[in-house]
Structure 1
Amino acid sequence: MSTPLGQADEALRQIQASPSYAQQILLTTAAVLRIQPGRPLYPRVLDIALGFGADAIVGELPTAVQLDALDRARAALPPVGNTVTHGEYALLLDSIAKTV
């Protein structure tokens, strides 16, 4: 039988192992961009994909949580280069998501 302290430790380990909302938004945004991997990426398209990612991950959560997660995800975004494709940027997002 586990003790309350042991249960609390296990719960904390599970929380720490779970990806953050910002991570999940970045990974979902990357998945959206992979729909058309060869297309050139424009800032407006990235905003739309990020919006889809945020809505899918935090859309049902309180506004403060939504805004915090989206702010953290946006802060991690690398600049959009002149010749980067959706697929290339998706790979960047996968890599960056590990650090958020």
Structure 2
Amino acid sequence: MLISIDKYGSITLPVSLRRELRLDQESYLELSVEDGKVIVLEPVAVQRNIRLNEKGLTKLEEARKSGTGELPEWLIGDMQNAEADTKQKIC
């Protein structure tokens, strides 16, 4: 499969390959180089981390106690779509 590198250094994976590997616009790939010349792209799952300062932690604790706090939309979506995936490397 022949692909090219654009002036920004980006490559485009053909749609047939993205479908076969179930990659979409939010997918992540780990790039490595083997033997100094072989480029390997491996799909990986990236887990989000949330860091809060003391004020944020206090607000989170208050929301938990009140039971009225709302979760961010992205977290709700991630929770609804959560499933075990033993095929992807987790970073």
Greater CA radius of gyration, 1 or 2?
Answer: 2
**Structure whose residues are more often helix by fraction:** 1
TM-score for both structures, normalised by structure 2:
0.26
Query: Which structure has the higher relative contact order (CA within 8 Å, separation 6+)?
Result: 1
Structure 1-normalised TM-score?
0.25
